[in-house]
Structure 1
Amino acid sequence: MNNALSKLQQDPLAREILQLRAKELAAQHTDEQPTEHHSLEDFIHFRLAGKEDYGIPYDVIEEVLVVNRIAKVPCSPAHISGVVNRRGDMLTIINMRQLLHVAGDIPAGDQSHIIVIKTGTLLVGLHVDELVGNSMFSRAALAPAPQSANAKDSNYFVGIHMGRISMLNIPSIIGDMG
C-alpha cells in the first residue's frame, strides 16, 4: 500500500488529478452550508403508533408536558382527547392520532406526552405517543408533502424531512379547528 501511495505522490499527473478532486469536493461541501435562503430551524420530533414520524417547528412550541391524566369532555369531537390542568388553566388536548388518521396500538403506560403549542392567542396541547427528540431542518430542503384524498389534510403538512419525518403546518391545523 505504501508503495502505491509513494508512486501516486511522485507522479505529477496523479498529483494534479488528486488536487482537482480535492478542490471539487471542498466546493461541494461549502455549497451545502446554510445561507440566508437556506437557514436551519429547530424542530421537535415525535412518533405516532410506533411507525409514523412527525415534526413541529420550535417557533410554535411553548413547552412539553408529561401528564398522568387527561380529563374527557362529554360530547366533544373525536380528535379532542380532553383537557388538563396547566398551572390553574384548562388546556384543550388534541389527539394527533385521530386528527391525522393514524391507526395502531395505543402505547401502554400511565403517562401522556403533550406538546403545548401557541398560534396567535390560541394555546392547545397535542397528545402524541412518543417524543423522539429534536433536530434541525431547512424549509427549502423539504421534499413536497404527499397529496391526500382530503384536501383539508393536505394543508396540514409543510413537507417531508429526510424522507421520513412529516413536518406539520400548525397554523393550518389549528385554523381548521377554530
Structure 2
Amino acid sequence: MPTDAASVAVLEERARLLRRERHDEPLAGAAESCYLRISLGEEARYGIPFDALEEILYPRGVRAIPGVPPHIAGVMNRRGEFVTVVDPAPLFGLQPQSITKNSRIIVVQYLQHMVAGLLVTGVENEVRYHHDELTAPFPTRNLSTDFIRGIHLGNVTLLAPRTLLASPEVQINHLNRSEDAIHG
C-alpha cells in the first residue's frame, strides 16, 4: 500500500466517492426486471440484473493473490486487462468457492471505468422478477444489505452488483486489511 501523502490522499478521495455513490438504483416505474439467475455453492441462488452484466467468461487463468481476504479469488487477464475476481460466497457467509467446469466469471463495470469479475458456481437461466414479489433483505451484523435489491419469494436473493463491488466490505485498502490476510 502507498505510504506517501499524495498517494494516500488519492486513495482517500476514491474511498469518499465510493461511499457517496449508489450504483444500482432500481428501475423507476418498472414492474419487473430481467435477471441472470446464478448459483453460489450447491444451494444458494442469486440474481444479477442484466443491465449490470458486461460479459460472462470461463474462469481460465485466475491467479491467486497472496495476503488478500478470502472474498478475493484472484486476478485474470481479459484481453490484456487485469480483472480482479471476487468470490461473493464468503461475503454471504458461505464457504469460498473452488473453480470447477461449471464456474463462470460475471464481469461487471462499476463506478465509471472499473471492472471486476464475480466468481459464480454456475449460471442457470434468465428470469423476470416482479418488483411486488420482492421482500426486503434481513439486516445482518456483518454485512451491509445495501447491495441486495430484494429477495424473491424467499428463494432468490437479487443483487446490486455494482454497489456490492464498490462497498467497503469488498474494497481492500490500508485501513481494512485483516490481520489474517496479512499474516497468512
Please give the per-residue CA displacement for 1:82-119, whole angstroms capped at 9, x wherever unaligned.
Answer: 01111111110001112222138x56735631000112
Letter in 2 for 1:67: P
| Unmatched runs of 5 consecutive residues or more in structure 1 | 1-35
Matched, 1:57 2:49: yes
CA contact (8 A) 2:110 2:166 kept: no
Structure with greater Cα Rg: 1
Could you tell me the TM-score, scaled by structure 2's length? Answer: 0.68
RMSD: 2.2
Matched, 1:149 2:149: no
CA contact (8 A) 1:38 1:140 kept: no
Letter in 2 for 1:54: Y
Which portions of structure 1, spanning 4 or more consecutive aligned residues, are displaced by more than 6 angstroms?
A: none
Could you tell me the TM-score, scaled by structure 1's length? Answer: 0.70
* Number of equivalenced pairs: 141
Distance 1:55 1:87, change over 3 A: same
**Identity %, equivalent residues:** 25
Higher relative contact order (CA 8 A, sep 6+): 2
Q: 1:41 aligns with which of 20, 33, 46?
A: 33
Q: What's the offset of the Cα at 1:53?
A: 0.5
Matched, 1:78 2:70: yes
* Separation in 2, partners of 1:74, 1:124: 18
* Separation in 2, partners of 1:110, 1:51: 17
* Separation in 2, partners of 1:107, 1:133: 21
Q: What's the offset of the Cα at 1:135?
A: 1.0
Distance 1:108 1:59, change over 3 A: closer
* Separation in 1, partners of 2:166, 2:81: 22
Matched, 1:99 2:84: no
Please give the per-residue CA displacement for 1:117-170, whole angstroms capped at 9, x wherever unaligned.
Answer: 1122220000011111111123343111122122x4322311111320001122
What SS does structure 2 have at the residue aligned with 1:153?
coil
